Amino acid sequence: MADDLLSQLKSMTTVVADTGDIEAIRRFQPTDATTNPSLILQAAQQETRRARLQEIARQATDLDDALDAVAVEIGSEISELVPGYVSTEVSARLSFDTEATLVRARALIERYDRHGVGPERILIKVASTWEGIRAARQLEREGIRTNLTLLFSLTQAQVCADAGVTLVSPFVGRILDWHKARDPDADFAGDRDPGVRSVKSIYEHYKGHGYETVVMGASFRNAGEILALAGCDRLTISPSLLGELAETRGTLERRLVPLDAETHAPEPLDESEFRWAMNEDAMATEKLAEGIRKFMDDQRKLEALLGELRRG
């Protein structure tokens, strides 16, 4: 009998848990784990954390301090369960402020260090805006590894690779959402999925030009998208889809295979070229802005929760 699909996927791709749920991480035993404001909010709302959250809120100097304390505490717990990276996100409010992103990222690394978690275990997540990528470039030079998120285009991926970031997280499902909203009757299954095609193009571009930046597909809507990207460097997957893969047996075919670099990297894009290319890509522009807004919506909910606990 064939092995389950999750076991086969782990043999060709590094599987990452897209969650702050400690129990889910224990169950699926991923190599890495990623968090974001939405996932931290979900974890923080668990009743078992309420007393500790109130303690953090009352000890914090302000809400920003409390937010980072919560994220790092959950991230530190996760680091005890995974052997690889834990990704922790800088506030989405700073997506267009390079200097503030640098300050917040360094503070997160220092906070992790106080929890006994070294910088080699942490990926600082930053939105793939021009300002975010510039911040990531400086952080990498300082030895702080980065994960560039909310990435929807080859243009963003190109500038991230030129900046020397450790890892990019191209979103699959949100790209599909955009196309389905405009053509609800189209067949986007398997390789026809525009999000899958986007990740494949980034993967092939990186491998074909010898970039070392890791490609980690993210934001999946169904297991078919994951199977279509088997062989990608990393895939970050929600607990529900991890469970579906673990319970499904069959033969998994490797779909992405790294090839030897054949050509030199293209000339780096400057800021005006980047902004123009993004302006020409309605999907990437709209989904990047929407993603930042959604993360901020959940961050505000967490801020409200912490503010309530602080007063209570």
Nearest to 94 by CA among 125, 71, 60, 63: 125
**261-296 burial, b if ≥16 CB within 10 A, otherwise e?**
eeeeeeeebeeeebeebbeebebbbebbeebbebbb
Residue in 10, 125, 180, 287 annotated catalytic: 125
Cα distance between residue 302 and residue 299, in whole Å: 5
CA 280 to chain centre: 24
**CB contact at 8 A, 249 and 3:** yes
- Per the annotation, the verdict on 125 as an active-site residue is yes
User: Given CA atoms 271, 156, 138, 102 in this order, what sign does their dihedral have?
Assistant: positive
61 CB-contact burial (10 Å; exposed 0-12 / middle 13-18 / buried 19+):
exposed
**CB contact at 8 A, 239 and 246:** no
**24-50 burial, b if ≥16 CB within 10 A, otherwise e?**
bbeebebebbbbbbbbbbebbeeeebe
Catalytic residues: 125
